[in-house]
Structure 1
C-alpha cells in the first residue's frame, strides 16, 4: 500500500468555511478524487483513518465537516468509543444539527467540495467518486443527482431513509443520475427496511441508472464505524472490497 499524507484543509462555501481532511498518496502526483461523506458523528479520527486507507489505494480523498455551520470539528463531545445505548444524550445534541442540514444547504456545500477537488493539483481531471456512510449515503445519492457531470460513481453504506414518501427523499433524483451506484445495506437497519430497498432499486432501474445493492447479513446501521458499538468486521471488509471494486471500474 502506498504511503499517505493527510492534511487539514479549509474549503470556502457560500455560507462560510468548511474544515475538512485531505488524504492522498505521498508522491506529489494527481490521483482520482473521492469525496467521503461522514456519518452523523462527524469528522473524527476514525473517518480520517478510513480516508487514509482509501488514499493508500491510490486516491485523493476529501472528508468535509458537513456540520461546519455549527463549528469546526469535532462538533460534538464524543467518547472514544461511541455507544448510543449507553449515551442516549448524544442524540439530543446531534439530532437538531442533522435536521438543520437541509438538502438545499447540503447540495450548495457539495458544489464547493467538488470545486475544491476539481481545482486541487492532487486530483486528476474529470469526474470524481463519492462514498457515504449513514447520513452520508443520502448525501452521496443527492450529490450524484445534483451534479451528474461531476460524479462518475457513488457508493452508500448503511444509509437510512433513501427511498421514502418524503418530497426530498434521495431516490427522487434518480432521473438525473449518470453515475454508477452501489449500496451496501445493513440487514439489521430499521431506517432502511426491505420495502425501501425495493423502491430504491426499482426507481433506479426505471431511470436507467447502473446500480447494484446488497444486504449484508447480521450488520447493523453504522457497521463500518469501528469506534462505535455498531461495528461489524466482516461487513466492513466486504464494504471495502465492494468500494474498491467500484473505484477500479470507474477510474
Structure 2
C-alpha cells in the first residue's frame, strides 16, 4: 500500500509499504531505478516480504513530480529527474523510509537498483542501516569520498556499459570492504520486466542477497 513519509527537512513523499509475511525479521528499503516506484519494484518488494521483511520503497522523484512512474522506454525523462536530484535531499528521503521501518523494530537493510544501487552505497556510508546491497549501481565515483559504515555487497554485469571495469575497480580500491560479484550480463539484468533480464544471473544475485540479509538483518 502507498503511505506518506516525512523527511527530516519536512518534505512529504510517498512510500510503498509491503508488510512482512509471517514473523517479521526486520526492515528492508528498496531504492528505485530512474523509473520511479514501478510495478516491477513492487514485485521485488513482495518477494522479500514473503521472507519476513517489512519493505518500503520511497518515491525519490516526489520532489520533482509527485507520483512519477516512467515507462521503461522513456529512460531519458527519468535520467533528467535523476540528474536534477540533490544527493543530500535524496538521502533525507531515503532516511525517512529507514526511520519508518526502524520504528517497527529490528535492523533495516537496503537494496538498490541502477541509480538506487549507487544510493544504496551512500546509505551504507551515512545512514543507520544494518547492511546494503547494490544491483548494478551507477555513478559510483561520486560515492567514493567516505568509508563504509555498514556491510555492503555489489552485483555487476561484466557487459554493463553503465558501469565500466575502471569504475568497478576504482570502487573496490576506495572501499576494500565491499563484497563484489560479477555476472555474465549487461545492465538491468535483474529487472524481469525488461529485455535486459538474465534469469540465471538475477536468480544467483538474489540468492546471494538473501543470504547477506539473513546474516546482517536479525
| TM-score, length-scaled by structure 1 | 0.80
Measure the CA separation in 2 of the matches of 1:240 and 1:92: 28
Structure 2: distance between partners of 1:62 and 1:234: 26
Kindly report which structure 2 residues correspond to 1:117-128, keeping only aligned pairs within 5 A, or say none. 117-119=101-103, 121=104, 124-125=105-106, 127-128=107-108
- Cα displacement (A) at 1:15: 4.9
8 Å contact from structure 1 (residues 160, 191) kept in 2: yes
Alignment equivalent of 1:137, drawn from 111, 117, 120 = 117
1:170 corresponds to 2:143: yes
Gaps of 5+ in 1: 1-6, 85-89
Q: Which residue of 1 aligns with 2:151?
A: 180
* Bigger Rg, structure 1 or 2: 1
Shift in Å at residue 186 of structure 1? Answer: 1.1
Q: Does residue 96 in structure 1 map to residue 76 in structure 2?
A: no
Find the counterpart in structure 2 of residue 58 from structure 1: 52
CA RMSD of aligned residues (A): 1.6
Question: Where does structure 2 lack aligned partners over 5 or more consecutive residues?
Answer: none
Q: Is the 8 A contact 2:114 2:137 kept in 1?
A: yes
Alignment correspondent of 1:3: none
Partner of 2:180: 213
- CA change 1:116–1:25 in 2 (3 A) is closer
1:248 aligns to what?
A: 214
Q: Is the 8 A contact 1:223 1:232 kept in 2?
A: yes
CA distance in 2, matches of 1:38, 1:49: 12
Task: Give the 4+ runs in structure 1 shifted more than 3 A.
Answer: none
Q: How many angstroms apart in 2 are the aligned matches of 1:231 and 1:221?
A: 9
What is the TM-score of this pair, normalised by structure 2? 0.92
Give the count of matched residue pairs. Answer: 216
Match of 2:136 in 1: 158
